């Protein structure tokens, strides 16, 4: 199967590849340990725990908007050629009062000053700084950096966004969208540390250009797998040969002995882990869009509010729902106009850290939860091909916007990706799409992390043991290459003995690392 010539070359390849691939291997081992330690005690994972600002810092009466929602709709029709919008929201932000309009469920929003009608998006740095200061309790804005990024809710490949650093009681980085200042992600110290280890050392992504860095990553992974396979080859081909020489007297604690034994113990596990890791990065990197369910976005969305529709004035909305709202020390924070099926609805936000209260616009009746059929139909409008769906039941699901779990429905759609869609019970808003592709992820991650028992301590200990094994293989490999002055002298003195010379080359083809260098 292998020619003598090839066998003779493999030791040298194994040696040099091992030395070179020490760099990524060490990076993977150390970063895995770093990420493992960071996530050990996080109560809410990398999503973190935050106290959101319940109220805008300035009390602004939403009824003070001089631009009416209907007038804005007409303008969207005439100036922006929109025939419908997904929703429109009037909200206060600091001293400002503005309308945010989402033309489709997947598009960037448009922001307009509610007093002058001036278009504000993309938001200036000043407005984003203001948004950052209004986001978390006890924090103030410090600095801002433009960082366009991937987001599962938008069709656009990279959402224009900024990383706003806030300091104070909850120091963190807020990823704010340029279109409306929406908080796309919150990154605290732990999440930042995790991302640093993950991006720089575990998946080697140094810029936002995924393909070249993925090529490098996969080349390293392929190299390490090849290295391990060659190691097994050498182990097998040398089975008739006793260990090294007598002069170097390799005992049970010699580098060679450790390298060989530790190598065959952990090599197979390393190969399996790497194959799982390759799949995982395929999901989180090059195929992130379909993995996050973006393939289920419809191109023919025809729901929402038509731009010829009449919407109730903010003051009229507030007057109509006033009697049904709980007591609040501060003014209403936001009004959102939406269509839920064939009925108009108003979402009234009393506190920014809680979900809005939903009202039927026609009757003024409060809607605590949509019927699952209606919620599913609303979601169906946003799924490619408007396929049939099955209702899988109610549950609580994490809302990134509000950093808490909220009542939701789960549906399974018959789209090409067989996507599970999680819909908020009271608003009909899709909060998550999980295609079948996503749902296969768990076993790969479990194998990659050797999370076999379900017990965090046991699993982390197992992973640590294997990492120790990898480190022993690396360290002993280097020791074999650089055995030190004393060992080098001994080997130099030990020229090939007569009996060794009599041994045919094919038998001795598996020259080891020490042999190859001496």
Binding residues for other proteins, per CB under 8 A? Answer: 43-44, 49-51, 235, 239-246, 252, 257, 260-262, 264-269, 271-273, 276, 368-369, 371-373, 390-396, 398, 403-407, 412, 425, 436, 439-440, 442-444, 446-447, 450, 452, 497-504, 507-508
Residue 145's contacts (CB-CB under 8 Å, 6 or more residues apart) are 162, 163, 165
- Least distance from C-beta 504 to other proteins, angstroms? 6
For other proteins, the closer CB: 398 or 471: 398
- Least distance from C-beta 128 to other proteins, angstroms? 26
CA distance 407 to 371: 13
| Three-state secondary structure readout of 13-40 | HHHHHHHHHHHHHHHHHHHHHHHHHHHC
For other proteins, the closer CB: 241 or 320: 241
For other proteins, the closer CB: 182 or 256: 256
For other proteins, the closer CB: 211 or 493: 493
- Least distance from C-beta 266 to other proteins, angstroms? 7
For other proteins, the closer CB: 23 or 440: 440
Q: Return the DSSP state at 327.
A: P
For residues 72 and 101, is the Cβ–Cβ distance under 8 A?
yes
Cβ-in-10-Å burial (0-12, 13-18, 19+) of 255 comes to buried
Distances in whole angstroms, Cα of residue 52 to Cα of each of 186, 232, 434: 11, 55, 27
Phi, psi of 278 (to 5 degrees): -60, -45
- Least distance from C-beta 515 to other proteins, angstroms? 11
Residue 338: strand, helix, or coil: strand
- Least distance from C-beta 354 to other proteins, angstroms? 10
Could you tell me if residue 85 is left (phi over 0), alpha (psi between -120 and 50 degrees) or otherwise beta?
A: beta
CA distance 246 to 249: 5
For residues 40 and 461, is the Cβ–Cβ distance under 8 A?
no
- Least distance from C-beta 8 to other proteins, angstroms? 16
- Least distance from C-beta 205 to other proteins, angstroms? 26
For other proteins, the closer CB: 252 or 326: 252
Which residue's entry shows tokens 């018959």? 414
For other proteins, the closer CB: 316 or 440: 440
- Least distance from C-beta 72 to other proteins, angstroms? 34
For residues 101 and 311, is the Cβ–Cβ distance under 8 A?
no
For other proteins, the closer CB: 319 or 503: 503
C-alpha count within 13 angstroms, C-beta hemisphere, residue 504: 4
Phi, psi of 325 (to 5 degrees): -90, 140
- Least distance from C-beta 477 to other proteins, angstroms? 16
For residues 331 and 59, is the Cβ–Cβ distance under 8 A?
yes
- Least distance from C-beta 345 to other proteins, angstroms? 17
- Least distance from C-beta 338 to other proteins, angstroms? 20
For residues 338 and 347, is the Cβ–Cβ distance under 8 A?
yes
For residues 133 and 57, is the Cβ–Cβ distance under 8 A?
yes
For other proteins, the closer CB: 59 or 505: 505
CA distance 319 to 145: 41
Counting other chains too, the contacts that 392-401 makes at CB distance below 8 Å and 24 or more residues apart are 392/420, 394/425, 395/422, 397/422, 397/424, 397/431, 397/432, 398/47, 398/431, 399/355, 399/424, 399/431, 400/47, 400/183, 400/184, 400/185, 400/431, 401/182, 401/183
3-state helix, strand, coil in the chain (%, to 5): 40, 20, 35
Strands (E), 121-269: 139-146, 161-168, 172-177, 183-187
As given in the structure block, the two tokens for residue 369 are 């939860």
Report the candidate in 366, 473, 487, 374 with the shortest Cα–Cα distance to residue 423: 374
For other proteins, the closer CB: 16 or 235: 235
For other proteins, the closer CB: 46 or 97: 46
CA distance 286 to 261: 37
- Least distance from C-beta 501 to other proteins, angstroms? 6
Residue 1: strand, helix, or coil: coil
For other proteins, the closer CB: 146 or 497: 497
- Least distance from C-beta 242 to other proteins, angstroms? 4
For other proteins, the closer CB: 85 or 370: 370
């Amino acid at each position: 199967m292998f020619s003598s010539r090839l066998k003779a070359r493999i030791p040298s390849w194994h040696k040099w590849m091992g030395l070179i691939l020490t760099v990524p291997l060490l990076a993977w081992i150390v970063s895995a340990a770093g990420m493992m330690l960071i996530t050990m005690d996080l109560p809410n994972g990398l999503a973190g725990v935050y106290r959101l600002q319940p109220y805008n810092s300035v009390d602004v009466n939403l009824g003070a908007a001089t631009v009416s929602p209907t007038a804005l709709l007409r303008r969207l029709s005439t100036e922006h050629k929109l025939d419908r919008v997904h929703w429109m929201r009037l909200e206060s932000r600091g001293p400002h009062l503005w309308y945010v309009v989402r033309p489709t469920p997947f598009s960037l929003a448009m922001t307009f000053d509610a007093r002058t009608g001036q278009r504000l998006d993309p938001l200036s740095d000043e407005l984003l700084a203001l948004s950052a200061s209004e986001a978390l309790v006890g924090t103030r804005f410090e600095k801002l950096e433009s960082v366009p990024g991937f987001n599962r809710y938008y069709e656009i490949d990279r959402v224009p966004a900024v990383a706003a650093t806030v300091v104070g009681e909850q120091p963190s980085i807020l990823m704010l969208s340029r279109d409306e200042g929406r908080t796309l992600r919150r990154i605290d110290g732990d999440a930042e540390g995790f991302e640093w280890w993950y991006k720089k050392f575990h998946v080697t992504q140094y810029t936002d250009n995924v393909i070249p860095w993925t090529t490098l990553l996969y080349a390293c992974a392929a190299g390490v797998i090849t290295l391990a396979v060659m190691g097994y080859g050498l182990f097998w081909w040398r089975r008739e040969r006793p260990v090294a020489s007598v002069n170097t007297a390799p005992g049970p604690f010699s580098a060679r002995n450790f390298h060989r034994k530790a190598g065959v113990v952990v090599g197979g596990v390393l190969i399996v882990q790497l194959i799982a890791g390759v799949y995982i990065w395929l999901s989180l990197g090059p195929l992130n869009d379909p993995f996050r369910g973006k393939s289920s976005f419809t191109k023919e969305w025809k729901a929402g509010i038509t731009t010829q529709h009449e919407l109730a004035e903010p003051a009229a909305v507030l007057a109509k729902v006033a009697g049904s709202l709980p007591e609040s020390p501060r003014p209403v924070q936001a009004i959102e106009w939406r269509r839920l099926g064939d009925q108009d609805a108003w979402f009234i936000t009393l506190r920014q850290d809680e979900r809005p209260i939903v009202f039927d616009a026609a009757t003024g009746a409060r809607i605590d939860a949509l019927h699952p059929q209606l919620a599913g139909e609303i979601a169906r409008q946003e799924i490619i091909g408007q396929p049939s769906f099955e209702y899988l039941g109610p549950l609580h699901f994490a809302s990134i916007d509000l950093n808490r779990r909220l009542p939701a429905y789960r549906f399974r759609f018959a789209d090409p990706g067989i996507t599970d869609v999680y819909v908020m019970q009271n608003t009909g808003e899709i909060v998550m799409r999980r295609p079948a592709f996503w749902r296969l992820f768990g076993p790969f991650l479990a194998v990659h992390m050797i999370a076999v028992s379900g017990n965090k301590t046991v699993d982390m200990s197992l992973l640590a043991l294997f990492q120790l094994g990898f480190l022993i293989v690396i360290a002993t490999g280097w020791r074999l290459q650089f055995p030190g002055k004393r060992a080098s002298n001994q080997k130099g003195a030990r020229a090939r003995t007569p009996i060794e010379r009599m041994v045919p080359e094919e038998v001795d083809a598996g020259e080891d690392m020490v042999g190859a260098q001496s």
